[in-house]
Amino acid sequence: MTITELRNKRAKTWEAAKAFLDSHRNADGFLSAEDDATYTNMENEITALGNEISRLERLEAMDREMSMPTSAPLTEKPAATQKLDAKAGRASDAYKQAFWNQLRSKGGMRPELRDALQVGELAEGGYLVPDEFENTLIQGLTENGIVRAHAHVITTSNGVHKIPVVASHGSASWLDEEGDYPESDEAFGQVQLDAHKVGTLIKVSEELLQDSAFQLESYISTEFTRRIGDKEEEAFLTGDGDSKPTGILHDTLGGQVGVTAASATAITADELVDLYYSLKAPYRKNAIWILNDTTIRLIRKLKSVEGQYLWQPGLKDGEVNTILGRPYFTSPFMPTAEAGAKAILFGDLSYYWIGDRQGIAFRRLNELYAGKGQVGFMASKRLDGRTVLPEAIQLLQMKTA
């Protein structure tokens, strides 16, 4: 079944689920236990169809990548003079070739490799990845992370970056003829981005490493993106700033609580609408929702005062599902709707800044896992994240029990 067919099937199932809800609610607006089980099955089918759509979209993207040529065709005579490498440092072809050769090399490093890698050598051991591969890793993190994909990302060459922000705005006044202009200046503050280290240990068998058909670059890219991406996303949302980024849900340095739910476990349509309008209009045009799968199950049953369901599925390729007309994304790192939890985020994430320190490091471990026939690779990067304008991101917090 094609993606378009799956989208159409999901849309029809959603319409059937809405009709079922409308026709089976009792006088108090509730479903019987039997009807609730039927609706839950319909909702599970909608979720399963959405997961299959996402899976096929990822498969198509992977097929496009795998179908790309793996090498450039020969366009010159064998005796022709080789072109000079116009790039320098970690961007050069020589550095790239030496980097991957030393990752695959068995035993000590040959002098020619060591010489080529001097520009990316780290004092604590290991080497910075080639510029091209670093861009690939960052692109992978962006494609797989909700916050990073919508945040404002900067790259710094040192560990600390201070960002000037407006703490309060000045205002205009009505004046009498020839009256004095009252002073009303902007008040500025600073947000500091540090360089917290996140890392992972990737192990590869010696047999795979020596197999020329094994795509080491692709394997490292996939594992690095999955592992580091999960830790990034978790910290960008819930981080406490202690050796990690400060998350958007932080009590004092994150977004603002725009709505407090009347219940510790339930969310109403009015509260969702209130959260939407708690965000000032200039921020709403780029705003997104972030919540977890459990909370979405609650949202799907809610209607506006006009009788329209707040949740709407994307019907065409490239369209995302929406709540009140704005796209939403689910993250396992968003809290569940329970007492005191900040269960829903709505805001313009371009006011969450991520500072990447330039240079992703890899270090080969030859001996540590030799007894198991494996080679270890330590991978790490330095980054930080902070909310620079809290009013641009509003949160719904559940009632404290």
Residue 70 has pLDDT above 70, yes or no: no
Residue where a domain stops, chosen among 10, 28, 63 = 63
Average pLDDT over residues 98-103: 80
Q: Contact 9/41 with Cβ under 8 angstroms?
A: no
Residue 274: inside a domain: yes
Shared domain for 131 and 55, answered yes or no, is no
Shared domain for 378 and 292, answered yes or no, is yes
Average pLDDT over residues 329-347: 96
Residue 114: inside a domain: no
Residue 104: inside a domain: no
Residue 392: inside a domain: yes
Residue 24: inside a domain: yes
Q: What is the pLDDT of residue 227?
A: 92
The rounded percent of the chain whose pLDDT value lies above 90 is 35
pTM of the entire predicted model: 0.76
Residue 183: inside a domain: no
Residue 173: inside a domain: no
Shared domain for 347 and 242, answered yes or no, is yes
Shared domain for 4 and 145, answered yes or no, is no
Shared domain for 33 and 150, answered yes or no, is no
Helix H or strand E segment including 193: strand 187-193
Q: How far is CA 19 from CA 15, 24, 84, in A?
A: 6, 9, 68
Residue 34 has pLDDT above 70, yes or no: yes
Q: What is the pLDDT of residue 153?
A: 93
Residue where a domain stops, chosen among 63, 87, 110 = 63
Residue where a domain stops, chosen among 63, 87, 115 = 63
Average pLDDT over residues 292-300: 92
Within 10 Å of residue 88's Cβ, how many Cβ atoms?
Answer: 10
For tokens 């320190």, name the residue.
357
Alpha helices in 157-267 (DSSP H): 206-210, 216-238
Shared domain for 343 and 224, answered yes or no, is yes
CATH of residue 283:
3.90.1690
Shared domain for 13 and 138, answered yes or no, is no
Q: Contact 272/387 with Cβ under 8 angstroms?
A: no
Q: For the chain, what is the domain count?
A: 2
* 25 pLDDT tier (thresholds 50, 70, 90): confident
Shared domain for 200 and 337, answered yes or no, is yes
Shared domain for 156 and 54, answered yes or no, is no
Task: Round to whole Å and give the CA distance between 293 and 297.
Answer: 7
Task: Round to whole Å and give the CA distance between 99 and 93.
Answer: 10
Q: Contact 317/4 with Cβ under 8 angstroms?
A: yes
Residue 95: inside a domain: no
Question: HSE-up of 338 (CA within 13 Å, CB side)?
Answer: 5
Average pLDDT over residues 105-118: 60
Cα torsion through 101, 107, 109, 110, rounded to 10: -90
Within 10 Å of residue 265's Cβ, how many Cβ atoms?
Answer: 15
Per-position DSSP letters for 96-153, written without gaps between them: HHHHHHHHH--SSPPHHHHHHTGGGB-TTSSEEPPHHHHHHHHHHHHHH-HHHHHSEE
Choice among 119-133, 157-171, 299-313 with the minimum mean pLDDT: 157-171
356: CB partners within 8 A, 6+ apart: 138, 153, 154, 155, 156, 381, 382, 383
Shared domain for 45 and 194, answered yes or no, is no
Shared domain for 21 and 132, answered yes or no, is no
Shared domain for 341 and 195, answered yes or no, is yes
Domain that residue 54 falls in: 1-63
